[in-house]
Each structure stands twice: as structure tokens, then as C-alpha cells.
Amino acid sequence: MENLLQQLLNGVTWGSIYALIALGYTMVYGVLRLINFAHGEVYMMGAMTGYYAAHWLGFAGEPSLLGLVAVLTASMAVCGLLGALIERVAYRPLRGAGRLAPLITAIGVSLLLQNSGQLVFGADPKFFPPLLRSREVFGAGEVAVSNIQLTVLATAILLMGALQYIVQRTRFGRAMRAVSYDAPAAALMGVPVDRVISGTFVLGSMLAAAAGILVGLSNPKIDPLMGLMPGLKAFVAAVLGGIGSVPGAMVGGLLLGVIETLVTGYLSSTYRDAIAFVILVVILLYRPTGLFGAPQTEKV
Amino acid sequence: MRGALRAAVCVVSLALGALACSGGKSGGDVIVVGHVASMTGDTATFGRSADQGMRMAIEELNAAGGVLGKKLELVTEDDRSVTEEARTAAQKLLQRDHVVALLGEVASSRSLAAAPEAQRAKVPMISPGSTNPKVTEVGDYVFRACFIDPFQGAVMARFAMNELHAKRLAILFDFKQDYSVGLAEFFRDTVRKNGGEIVADERYTSGDIEFRAQLTTIRAANPDAIFVPGYYTELGLIAKQARELGVNVPLLGGDGWDSEKTLEIGGDAVEGYFFSTHYAADSDNPRVQEFVKRFAAKYGATPDAMAALGYDTAGILADSLKRAGTTDGAKLRDAIAATSGFDGVTGKISIDPNRNARKDAVVLQIRGGKFHYYRTVSAE
């Protein structure tokens, strides 16, 4: 029982990383009907930016909460700009060119970032500086909760809460929902569609950057190809939750993390990667709209 | 049509040119030796260390007048720590550079990818550090300068049971690496044969970063020690996550841990752990001390096991070239096979009939952020 609790905790922590990445997929899909396959690479860039920021700002030597906040902010800012840049350069020129062309461009951007990443950062893995000194916060019997796991969970929940607030309570959020519902009509009502789309990329990329930093914190090995698998898994998580739905991406990410951990813990890690794609196939066959993706559900 | 004809002529003349050049590079006043190595990627320190060791050995040999009246030249081809690339790298060295011998790889999976190419070309290949038995079974042109996993696995199993008095043992291995799978298998057999118990047998995949699920399962089985026969990158993350989950029993490993990166990634988390390897830099053997001193003077670092093995591998090749008196593949092969009592920095090396090196293993302990010599285990 304690073992199961520990595994659930491991799974939720791991899943919160998927959830943060999945949110970017789902928001972009919401406004553009585009699967942004370069999103996993934004997550990689987030981790890399964090690595260099920690070294340049001088937080690599000694762990401190201030360092973590500074690195997180820097990385989210850089990746937010990167997201806007990708949208402006690679997707906006193809607006109205059907759905296939931007999809192929997205794969192109993904390859470009992977390979220029190897060129600039080097193909060797890097080891994320310890921004927090790991220690056990509380242990109830066999269940050990470390401050790192708590930080990952708390940051993820905080960011998701902030996103939910932005989407539901702000003018920009209302504009996003309007564009998602009917872009031409929103444009006729005076909503600046291009700016809203740009802002959506910024938001999604910032969340991916945060995911990159959190992974650096709890699993401190980063390399230019690290975005590939989590990118695909987060896409599965977004489809599982219902692509286009914000709460769906959160639940889908957490669920996928828990499922993977339980499969690894109780069956074998051999099946861990397969299970995500089995879920994708099953969802597409039997419930293509995902858990939260009923047509009348509001989309973002 | 004209264009096609011209293209055909070009291709034919290129092919003829290549034929005319074949063997040319090694025929001059240098003997070209190839090195298939992971200079970048997940196990980059293996390739780089081995390469440094080889280059130092070759520099010393050349300074002493070279071999067969010629200078040795090492051409290194990077495989980026990718199994498939090792094969391509071997092909490049064999076909483009016409090397007289192939040195490398360290990782067993990559040696297994490169070895068939050397065997087909009838060019001798010597792996410095691949310990999986299958490597030299590829063919009679494939050798190694290190011991093999049945020996290494048994050494660590007996060490756990006799020295640490561990009866309940857990294994966490990388099932994508032949090296790790082999070590786990021989460890498992030896433990069972000696009356111990394997209480958890978990696996991961190279490149994984999250091991908490497996470690939680292992923790629930309550072992006395955990055998992690993987490579250093994953080990560092495993050690950290194990400590976080409150796992306080020692972790044990093989020579895949032998890299400065183990200390860099693992930090405090790898303190007190043990692993078997080929040599100890803090050994009091004067030959080792001399090697460590010269290596430090040249590269400004303490040589790890792969650097020492690389140094010995180049030494064995040069020794065999001298005894063969020629760079002819078949004669060189026979000379390497006849190597006996070669005095290397990793011990006295003799090549056995299965083309494996017979020599001792050492167990090191990590203490105070450094590797320390703990015990020698004889090959007998």
C-alpha cells in the first residue's frame, strides 16, 4: 500500500512535466488547428537556457530558492520570445495554406532546432546544476517525499492555476477563446487574431520552458535531443485529455505519468514507452475527442 | 544521353582512381591505425579517454623510433555513442583510410556492430574495453585487451556476498546494452550458485532519466545491496534518485562506472559505493605511477581505466607488429593471438585461445569524491 502511494507520487510528479508540455500543444491546436511538433524542442531549449542562465547568473555553485526563481524566469522569458519567433517566421506566412503545409513546417522547425542544438550546445549530455539541495521533507512509513518532488509539483500547479486564470478571467483569455471558437468571426468583431495567436505561442512556450527547468531539477541530465520523446508523449497526453481542451491536457499529462510509472513499477520498464502509444491508438479508435473533448466543451 | 555518358565515365575513372590509391596510405612511411570511438554522446568519456591513452602510447613509440622503421599514425572516427554509427565508422576507416588494424570500441554493443566489418576485411581489431563475451566470438580477427563479463560479474557477486555479507541482492540493469545485460546475467548466476537470493530484478533503457518507479519497487524488496551494471550517465541519476527515496544500501557496479563523470553527476550520492574495473590510478605499482605521472603532464588529468586500456591496446598492437615484422593482416593476427605476458599498465596481459585477455580485476571504492583502490581479484 505504501509502495503504491510512493509510486502514485512518483507518477504525478513525472506526469506534471508532461502536463506542462501538453498545455502548449493543446492551446496552439485550439487557436490554429495545428499540431506544433516543434514544441518538444522548445522544452529542450528551456532546459538549455536554464543551464546557461544558472552558470552566467552565478547560481550553479550553491543551491538557493532565489536561484531557482531567477533561472525559471529567465528561461520562460527566452522561450516565450522563441515561441513568438517560431510562429512569426515558420507558421504565419503559411496562414490559410491548408493544414498539411504548416504541419510539415513544424516538423522542419523541430529538426532545425534539434540539429542546430547539437551544433551549438554539443551532442554531449549536460548536467543541470543542482538549484536545490535534495532532502526528504517528510517520510510517512515507507513513503518518502523530497523537497525536489514538492517543488516540481507546486510549480506545475501554480503555473496551471495561472494559466487557467488567464484563459478564463482576462481580456486576452477571452480573445483566445473567441479565436478558438471562430477565428474569422472574432476578426470581424475586432479581435486582433494575429496578436492573439502570437500570445498563445508565447504562453505555451513559457510553460514548456518551465517543464524543462523542472526536469533539470529532478532528473538533471539534458541534451539537444531530449525533447523528442517527451514531446511525443505530451502530444499523446494532449490527445488523451482531448486536444484543444486546457483541463484535458492537465489531466491527460498527469494520467500518462501515473500510468507509465505504474507500468514500470509493477510490470516492466520495457513496456513503458509502448504504453503511451497504445493509449494513443485506443483513444483515436474509440474516443477521438479524448476525455474532455466533447464538441460543445469550450476550446482554447 | 551525353550527360549520362559523361557521368558514367566520371564514375569509372573515380573507381579506377580509388583502386590505384588503395593501400597507398599505409604503404608510405607511416602505418595507419584506425580508432572507432565515442568521442561525443552519452558515453563520450570512454572514447576520449581511450583515444588519449592510445595517442600517448603512439607518441612514445614514435619518439623511440616507431615500428618496423615507420611512424604509427592514429585516425579516429567518432560514432557519437550510437550503435549503428560504429559500423559506419569502421567501414570508413577500412575503406577510406585502409588501416592496418582497427582499435575500439569500448561499449560492447558498438564493438559488436563494428567487428563484422573488420572480420570481413581480414583486418585485426582490438577492443580496449568491451567486456561482453560475444564480441570476440564474431571471428578470429577480433581481440580484446580486457577481461570478460563472466569474470567481472562473478567478482562483484562474490564481493557483495563475502565482503559486504549481503544475502538479498537487487539488480537494476540497462536492457539495451549487451554489456549491462551480460553482467547482470553472470552476477545473477553467481549469486544463486552461492546460496544468495535475487529479490528484485528491474531494468531501464539507455537515455532514461526517470528511475523512481524501479527504485521504489527495489526498495520494497528490501535488499542488502543493489547491482547497477550500467554506464556512468544513468548511474549518477540512479544514485541521486535512490538517495532521495531513502535507499541507503550500497550500489555496486562494473567498469562502466569508471569515468570522472560518475563523480561529477553523482556527487555526494555515489559516496561509499563499489565497482570492479581494470586498474587503479592510486596503485603503488611503479609502472602505473609512471604512466599516471606522464598522462597528467600531457593532459592535466588522472587517467581512468579506459585511458589505461587504450594505452595498453596500442602497446599490444605495436608489440605484435614488431613480432609479425609486417603489416599483413593474417600475419599480424597470428602475432596478436600469440601475445603472452605483455607488461601493460593494466597488468600482465596474455591473449587466450578465445582472443580474450587474461588478467586481474580491481575493486575500487568511491570515498571523498575520489576513486580509491580497495582490492585486487586474481584471474585464476
Q: Which of A3, A134, A219 is opposite residue B210, by nearest beta carbon?
A: A219
Nearest to A35 by CA among A195, A296, A231: A231
Which of chain A's residues have a Cβ under 8 Å away from the Cβ of B203? Answer: 268-270
> Which of B248, B277, B306 corresponds to the end of one domain?
B277
Task: Identify whether residues B143 and B84 lie together within a single domain.
Answer: yes
**Which residue in chain A is spatially nearest to B204 when comparing CA positions?**
A269
pLDDT-derived band at A291 (thresholds 50, 70, 90) equals: confident
Query: Which residues of chain B have a CB within 8 Å of the CB of A122?
Result: 40
Q: Residues B100, B156: one domain?
A: no
- Per-residue pLDDT averaged across B217-228, rounded? 95
Please report which confidence band the pLDDT of residue A300 belongs to, taking 50, 70 and 90 as the band edges: low
Q: Using beta carbons and an 8 Å cutoff, which residues of A are at the interface with B?
A: 3, 6-7, 10-11, 13-14, 122-125, 127, 130, 134, 136, 139, 142, 144, 146, 148-149, 215, 219-221, 226, 260-262, 264-266, 268-270, 273
pLDDT value, residue B283: 86
Instruction: Work out the minimum CA distance from B173 to partner chain A, whole angstroms.
Output: 11
pLDDT digits (tens, 9 = 90+) for A104-155: 999 999 999 999 999 999 888 899 998 888 777 777 777 888 889 999 999 9
**Share of residues in chain A with pLDDT > 90 (%):** 74
B42 and B139 in a single domain? The answer is yes
Host domain of residue A37? 2-123+136-286
Residue in A127, A142, A269 closest to B203 by CB: A269
- Put simply, the answer to whether B217 touches A11 (Cβ < 8 Å) is no
pLDDT greater than 50 at residue B14: no
CA distances from residue B369 to A33, A123, A286, B161, B372 in whole angstroms, order as listed = 53, 26, 54, 25, 10
The label of the residue with cell 580509491 reads B372
Determine the residue of chain B that is closest to A124 in CA distance. B41
Is B259 exposed, middle or buried (CB count within 10 Å of its CB: 0-12, 13-18, 19+)?
buried
B187 & B221 share domain? yes
Within a domain: residue B368? no
pLDDT of residue B376: 87
Query: Contacts of residue A7 in chain B, CB cutoff 8 Å?
Result: 213, 216
Residues B262 and B315 in one domain: no
The CB density around residue A161, as the number of other CB atoms within 10 Å, is 10
Measured CA to CA, the distance from residue A61 to residue A130 in angstroms comes to: 8
Q: pLDDT tens digits for B121-147? A: 999 999 999 999 999 999 999 999 999
pLDDT (0 to 100) of residue B15? 47
Residue B263, beta-bridge partner list? none
CATH of the domain at A208: 1.10.3470.10
Judge whether residue B3 has pLDDT over 70: no
With contacts defined as CB-CB under 8 Å, which chain B residues touch A149? 244
- Give the domain range for residue B69: 9-147+286-359
Q: Which of B277, B311, B343 is the last residue of a domain?
A: B277
Closest CA to B244 of A264, A64, A135: A135
- Quick check: B217 and A124 CB within 8 A? no
pLDDT in tens, A35-44: 999 999 999 9
The pLDDT of residue A22 is above 60: yes
Number of domains in chain A: 1
Distance from CA of A223 to the nearest CA of B (A): 9
Other C-beta atoms closer than 10 Å to the C-beta of A272 total 22
Supply the ipTM of this predicted assembly: 0.88
Contacts of B214 in chain A (CB under 8 A): 264-265, 269
Contact B237 A6 (CB under 8 A): no
**Run of H or E including B54:** helix B44-63
Q: Which residue of B has its CA nearest to A144?
A: B245
Are B202 and A144 inside 8 Å of each other by CB? no
Q: How far apart are CA A24 and CA A252, in angstroms?
A: 13
pLDDT digits (tens, 9 = 90+) for B19-35: 444 443 445 789 999 99
CATH code of the domain in which B267 resides? 3.40.50.2300
Residue B177 belongs to a domain? yes
Residue B11 has pLDDT above 80, yes or no: no
Q: What is the pLDDT of residue B334?
A: 95
The 3-state DSSP class for residue B336 equals helix
CA distance B22 to B239: 50
Q: Is A96 left (phi over 0), alpha (psi -120 to 50) or beta?
A: left
Q: List pLDDT tens digits, range A190-213.
A: 999 999 999 999 999 999 999 999
Distance CA A204, CA A160 (A): 11
**Is the distance from CB of A36 to CB of A113 less than 8 angstroms?**
no
> CA-CA distance, B36 to B46, in Å (whole number)?
11
Question: What pLDDT is stored for residue A158 in this prediction?
Answer: 95
How much is the pLDDT for A288? Answer: 86
Asked whether the predicted pLDDT for residue A185 surpasses 50, the reply is: yes
Q: Which of B135, B111, B368, B160 is nearest to B276 (CA)?
A: B160
Which of A6, A132, A148, A223 to mutate to test binding with chain B, by most B CBs within 10 Å of its CB? A6
Model confidence over A24-82: pLDDT tens digits? 999 999 898 899 999 999 999 999 999 999 999 988 877 888 999 999 999 999 999 99
- Domain shared by B260 and B302, yes or no: no
- What per-residue confidence (pLDDT) applies to B355? 95
Alpha helices (H) along A39-131: 39-56, 65-86, 100-121
Pick A148's closest partner by Cβ from B205, B209, B244.
Answer: B244
State pLDDT tens for residues B310-358.
999 999 999 999 999 999 999 999 999 999 989 999 988 999 999 999 8
Same domain, B141 and B155: no
Are the C-beta atoms of residues A38 and A113 closer than 8 Å to each other? Answer: yes
* Statement to judge: residues B118 and B14 lie in one domain: yes
In a shared domain, residues B195 and B313: no
A-chain CB neighbours of B267 within 8 Å are 130
